[in-house]
A and B are shown apart, each in its own frame.
Chain A
Amino acid sequence: MKRRDFMLAAGTFAGALMLPRMSFGAEGVIDVYFSSDQNVIDFWTNVVKPKFEAANAGVTLNLVDGGDGAGVAAIGDRALAAMASGADPQADLFEGFDTRVTVDGIAKGLYVDFETAGLSNYGKINPLAFDIPTNLPYRGSQVLLAYDTTKLDPANAPKTWPDLVAWIKANPGQFIYNRPNKGGSGGNFVRRAILEANGKDPSKFAVDNYTAEAGEAMLNPAWDILMDLAPSLFDGGAYTSGNTQSIQLLGQSAVTMIPAWSDQALSAIAQGVLPETTGLVQLSDLGLPGGFTKLAVLTNGVNKDAALKLADFLLTEEIQSAVLTELGGFPGVSWEHVSPELREKFADIIPTTIPTFPGGDWEKAINDGWYRAVAPNVDPAS
């Protein structure tokens, strides 16, 4: 091929690739949009899709990575616009989505109300996970404590906040958490300290009740708690810069205990990043915060009924057990609806409460306050 021909052919090919690909919501193809990370999409590709398609002949799943929350929110806005004009939204189900994000979406009936949708497995959902009826929780993740059982006997693992503080002080240099803005494991550890300083009452914090005075009154005592811990932390008050780095330090046996996301810790153990001898424990007086991942189904999707069938399928014991074993998350259903062996295996981390903590102004205040008050490691008395 002459160079000129080659350039022409290459140009045409590239041009064809760049053309907007036309697609329409097809009957029997459920379009699922994800805001979650690749590991979740892999879980759907390898577990959910083959199982669901095998059980429902003629229905296939089209799994689309929406990028992030904002990416899926844009699809939601388009679906709302499509609803007004009676057009096809080309989407059926959103994974990892809060229906409140679409302005007017719930009021205009864009999302299926699961309370009245008649899902056969709806009653199995963990009561802790319920939010609003248009959000369907199907998997959870919570921060818990991961520790080295060769150095700390599981029988002596701390089960309450005062126990944990006592353990950290009795074992200086053996605990580290990451900076609260650089990953949820340290972030939720810090939030647990904030809850401890405020009567262990998550209801005191709402997305809209932050004021500078409230922030000062409610956060400063928490900074005192954390400052008090600092000299007993790894290296006299060092903080890793992310969830992964904390896990690396536990894996290198440099520390004995870290806060970690349940799914990240479980998959790290499964992949051998953390040794088999890693123990997991949740505080029983008030758990470390976490949350559930929710689904939304569009009322105007072409495949609404199939999508509801898929939503119901996700809550079956088969998929919920796989969430534990394959994804390393928490089931969205109550623990009596997963197999007894699994319940036994994960007994220590079954949450009795999953406190949540609002974002918005509180998050900003925590990110600024922690860096100024706790991170510099300056003794205020000196």
Chain B
Amino acid sequence: MTAIDAGQPVLAAPERRRPIGLLLVAVPVLLVIWLIIWPIISAVIQTVWVKTPEGGNSFSVETYRFFFSDGYSLSNLSITLWTTGVCAILLLVVCLPIALYLRFSDSKVAAYVQGLAIFPMFVPSIILSFAFIRVLGPNGTVDLVFNAVGLPKIRSPYLTPWGPVIGLVWDNIPLTVLILLSGLGNVSNQAIEAARDVGAGKLALLWHIILPRISNSVLVAISFAVLGIFSAFTLPYVLGPAAPEMMGPFMQRTFRELFEPQTAITQAVITFGFCIVFGLFYVRSVARNQAP
């Protein structure tokens, strides 16, 4: 992940360019073209170049017109955007303090905090889903604890749009913390001490010294989280409401249970269209950092 090391000075290009470098990257590039780029192109072609009843093919944007005029599909798209946006904000709110703590703390506790923060990476999401129902679901552990100390019953987030939000945030903490942490590695102690010497407060330090230096990492972390969340399947499927559905379960249902591959591919292309925007953010920030 070169993005994580972004910000380091780019090595000066060697004077004689050899083809070995190009050969080394040829295999992954070809794989990406074969397994990712080509399927995307073919999906786009399949949705706009459709079979006519007479047996020929013709250009048509009917499936897209249907998607964007169908209230049900649009509400699925908007819940996906909402979930992604809320998750991205919550992830920053949760992960930035953890990353700051891990970067600037010297105590032994920090190692345990780091272990805890990375832990969700090792929990498969289907197990997380059922554990979520046990803990945060109705009459789950949280309800039992609240009841034991005389607090009122909470309305469980299970089967509401907040169910997937909580699950997805928990699931994405490790990656976000790791990316932010690597970004914080670029903030030198000297810069912070210098700022402190001239009397900067903690907030000023964060706002004027730390955030500008890690803005790139923040962007990368958010792009990664958003790309994963936008097409999430298991957590929205098990924890979310029946309708509106997020795009992941919606595409799967359209394909497997309604037997409408054309519609499912259209949904996929639209999903991809939104993801590519975040992908471009990521690519742009990497490119900007590598520019001399």
Contacts of A377 in B (CB 8 A): 243
Residues A229-271 near B (CB distance < 8 A): 234-235, 238-242, 245, 248-249, 252-255
Assess whether B119 is interfacial by the CB under 8 Å rule.
Answer: no
Instruction: Tell me how far the C-beta of A370 lies from the nearest C-beta in chain B, rounded to whole angstroms.
Output: 9
Q: A241-B238, A245-B133 are in contact. Are A252 and B72 (CB under 8 A)?
A: no
Assess whether B237 is interfacial by the CB under 8 Å rule.
Answer: yes
Q: A252-B139, A376-B72 are in contact. Are A364 and B257 (CB under 8 A)?
A: yes
Chain B residues in contact with chain A, CB under 8 A?
Answer: 72, 75, 130, 133-134, 137-140, 155-156, 158-160, 237-238, 240-245, 253, 257-259
Contacts of A248 in B (CB 8 A): 130, 133-134, 137
A364 CA to B263 CA in the complex, in Å?
14
Contact of B253 among A181, A239, A376 (CB under 8 A): A181
Instruction: Tell me how far the C-beta of A353 lies from the nearest C-beta in chain B, rounded to whole angstroms.
Output: 27
Contacts of B245 in A (CB 8 A): 371
Q: A245-B133, A367-B257, A371-B72 are in contact. Are A238 and B139 (CB under 8 A)?
A: no
A235 CA to B244 CA in the complex, in Å?
16
Instruction: Tell me how far the C-beta of A368 lies from the nearest C-beta in chain B, rounded to whole angstroms.
Output: 5
Contact between chains at B258 and A252 (CB < 8 Å) = no
Contact between chains at B242 and A254 (CB < 8 Å) = no
Chain A residues in contact with chain B, CB under 8 A?
Answer: 179, 181, 234-235, 238-242, 245, 248-249, 252-255, 363-364, 367-368, 371-372, 375-377
Instruction: Tell me how far the C-beta of A262 lies from the nearest C-beta in chain B, rounded to whole angstroms.
Output: 23
Contact between chains at A239 and B130 (CB < 8 Å) = no
Contact between chains at A376 and B137 (CB < 8 Å) = no
Contact of B257 among A181, A375, A376 (CB under 8 A): A181
Compute the total of residue contacts between A and B using a CB distance below 8 Å.
65
A252 CA to B143 CA in the complex, in Å?
11
Q: A252-B138, A252-B140, A364-B259 are in contact. Are A238 and B243 (CB under 8 A)?
A: no
Contact of A238 among B133, B140, B241 (CB under 8 A): B241
A375 CA to B133 CA in the complex, in Å?
20
Contact between chains at A375 and B137 (CB < 8 Å) = no
The list of the 7 closest CB pairs from A to B, nearest first, reads A375-B243, A254-B138, A375-B242, A238-B159, A239-B242, A376-B243, A252-B139
Contact of B137 among A252, A371, A372 (CB under 8 A): A252
Contact between chains at A372 and B72 (CB < 8 Å) = yes
Instruction: Tell me how far the C-beta of A35 lies from the nearest C-beta in chain B, rounded to whole angstroms.
Output: 18
Contact between chains at A368 and B258 (CB < 8 Å) = yes
A347 CA to B47 CA in the complex, in Å?
55
- Nearest residue, chain A, Cβ from B237: A241
Instruction: Tell me how far the C-beta of A270 lies from the nearest C-beta in chain B, rounded to whole angstroms.
Output: 20
